[in-house]
């Protein structure tokens, strides 16, 4: 999405004293605010679509949710492996799958995305 603003953008900090000039400036401000509102709505819509698309084809597995929860608690892969009775490599495997499905590239971002999407609680 590209946002193209009018080349007639005015300087808000310099309001004219003449009533006609003020009307013109207010008209430009209203146009600018309307354009920004539309752009903001489009960005929010795009974000919602992306948010939904992340999990459409790749549901987080129960084991991935469990691993995310332990990582949220500050556990390392090794500690999580001991708790779950699996190898650290298996924990890393599940975490990498969760990160891929959530569209992130690190553990912290995965936990934050999972919390935002309601997959895990804080």
Query: Is the pTM value of this prediction over 0.85?
Result: no
The pLDDT-based confidence of 110 (bands split at 50, 70, 90) is very high
**Structure confidence by residue, pLDDT tens digits, 70-89:** 999 999 999 999 999 999 99
Cβ-defined contacts of 100-109 (< 8 Å, 24+) = 100/58, 101/54, 101/55, 101/58, 101/59, 101/60, 101/64, 102/54, 102/60, 103/50, 103/54, 107/71
Residue 98 pLDDT class (50, 70, 90 cuts): very high
More confidently predicted of 51 and 86: 86
Pick from 1, 108, 107, 116: nearest CA to 55: 116
């Amino acid at each position: 999405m590209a946002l193209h603003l009018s080349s007639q953008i005015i300087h808000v900090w310099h309001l004219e004293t003449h009533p006609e000039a003020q009307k013109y400036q207010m008209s430009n401000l209203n146009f600018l605010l309307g354009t920004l509102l539309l752009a903001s709505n489009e960005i929010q819509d795009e974000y919602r679509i992306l948010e939904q698309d992340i999990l459409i084809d790749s549901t987080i597995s129960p084991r991935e949710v469990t691993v995310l929860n332990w990582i949220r608690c500050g556990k390392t892969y090794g500690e999580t492996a001991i708790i779950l009775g699996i190898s650290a490599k298996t924990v890393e495997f599940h975490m990498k799958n969760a990160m891929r499905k959530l569209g992130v590239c690190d553990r912290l971002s995965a936990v934050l995305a999972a919390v935002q999407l309601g997959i895990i609680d804080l």
